[in-house]
Structure formats: C-alpha cells, structure tokens
C-alpha cells in the first residue's frame, strides 16, 4: 500500500460505495462514507486508507481532496476511469458491475472495511449519515460556515489510541517520504 494520497485509490473506494448503492450515490452520503472508511482504517490498522486531508465542514467531517475530485475541482484520468462527473448531487460508477478483482488499489482488508461500513450505514440517507457523523465523530468541530482541518492526531486520540502521537508522526513521515519518492520519478 502506498503511504500517500492516490486519486486512483480514492476513486476506487468511491466507486465501490457507488456500486453498493446500485450504481449511483448521493455526494453527501458518499462524503460521509469516505470519511468513515478513513476513520475505520485508522482504528483497525493505525494508518489511513486514503491519506487524505481531513476537514470539518458544516455537514460534518470529510476527506477533503477526495471531495474536491467528486465536486469536479480536481481532475484525473484515474478518477474518471471509475466515476462519472457529478450530476444532480450524485456520482455514478463509470463501470457498473465492475468485479472486485478490478479494484487493484484495494486490499481484501480494505474491501472488508467498506463492506462492513455499507452494511452498517448503507440504509441511511444522506442526512441521517450526516447527523451520525456529527454525533459519533467527536473530532468534528462545527466550523460555522467555513472549514477547519481535523488533525489525524485528534482522530486517533478519540479512537482511544494510546500511542496517538507516535502514530501521527509515522503518518507524517510516510507522507514526506512518499512526496520525496514522487519527486524523484
């Protein structure tokens, strides 16, 4: 697994949730599921699934870079391979019915987390899921019309991780090393 943000990996996670929803998914619901996936991966493995920038927004916590791809503010061939452009507050899987094996950036452990989250939250509509994140993600703080960063350290602390500082340092080192490697290529 890469220790840096990857639009391809994020697109595959988003497309997987879209497929779980029957091919199309509401953007707000997807944003909450993506955040919960990042949070659950941290809880289970002490590292992020997406290595995204976490932020508090009015409708709850989000994975910021991925939301920018969903909203069309960022573009990538990797993204458009798996998801269609946003339309009527929804995105769709670009390849409906894509076999799990084609999600080359997702491990079996990742798929297990995504399936578990869908089983737990898939029945909720976007507003129920938004309200859930407001009530059950204490790292979220109401930004009052703006957006505020959510440090990984705060998420880890609320997840009850005793070594939250050292885990956060590891995440920072992995991100820095990945940036250096990317510049060398």
Give the span between the Cα atoms of 84 and 34, in whole angstroms. Answer: 17
Tell me the sheet residues that pair with 63. 54
Give the span between the Cα atoms of 133 and 59, in whole angstroms. Answer: 9
DSSP structural state of residue 52: P
Q: What is the pLDDT of residue 169?
A: 67
Torsion of CA 38, 44, 45, 47, to 10 degrees: 30
Q: What is the pLDDT of residue 158?
A: 93
Residue-range domain boundaries for the chain: 7-184
pLDDT tens-digit series, residues 5-42: 889 999 999 999 999 999 999 999 999 999 999 999 99
pTM of the predicted structure, to 2 decimals = 0.89
* Rg of the chain, C-alpha, whole Å: 16
What's the whole-number mean pLDDT along residues 55-65? 95
Neighbours of 21 (CB within 10 A): 18
Give the span between the Cα atoms of 73 and 137, in whole angstroms. Answer: 26
Q: What is the pLDDT of residue 168?
A: 65
Give the span between the Cα atoms of 94 and 79, in whole angstroms. Answer: 10
Regarding beta strands 148-149 and 24-26, do their DSSP bridges make them parallel or antiparallel, or are they unpaired? unpaired
pLDDT tens-digit series, residues 77-131: 889 899 987 788 989 999 877 778 888 999 999 999 999 999 999 999 999 999 9
Q: What is the pLDDT of residue 61?
A: 97
- Of 3-17, 133-147, 162-176, the range with the lowest mean pLDDT is 162-176
Q: What is the pLDDT of residue 8?
A: 94
- Which residues lie closer than 8 Å to 165 by C-beta, 6 or more apart? 153
Q: How confident is the model at residue 171 (pLDDT cuts 50, 70, 90)?
A: low
28 or 171, which is more confident? 28
Q: What is the pLDDT of residue 97?
A: 77
Q: What is the pLDDT of residue 27?
A: 95
């Amino acid at each position: 697994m890469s220790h840096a943000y990857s639009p391809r990996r994020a697109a595959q996670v988003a497309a997987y949730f879209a497929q779980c929803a029957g091919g199309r998914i509401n953007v707000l619901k997807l944003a909450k599921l993506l955040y919960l996936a990042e949070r659950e991966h941290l809880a289970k493995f002490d590292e992020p699934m997406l290595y995204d920038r976490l932020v508090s927004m009015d409708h709850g916590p989000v994975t910021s870079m991925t939301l920018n791809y969903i909203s069309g503010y960022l573009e990538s061939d990797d993204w458009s391979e798996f998801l269609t452009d946003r339309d009527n507050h929804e995105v769709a899987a670009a390849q409906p019915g894509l076999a799990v094996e084609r999600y080359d950036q997702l491990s079996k452990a990742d798929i297990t987390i995504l399936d578990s989250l869908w089983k737990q939250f898939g029945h909720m509509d976007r507003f129920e899921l938004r309200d859930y994140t407001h009530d059950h993600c204490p790292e979220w703080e109401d930004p009052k019309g703006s957006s505020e960063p959510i440090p990984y350290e705060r998420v880890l602390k609320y997840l009850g991780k005793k070594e939250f500082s050292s885990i956060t340092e590891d995440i920072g080192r992995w991100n820095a090393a990945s940036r250096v490697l990317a510049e060398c290529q």
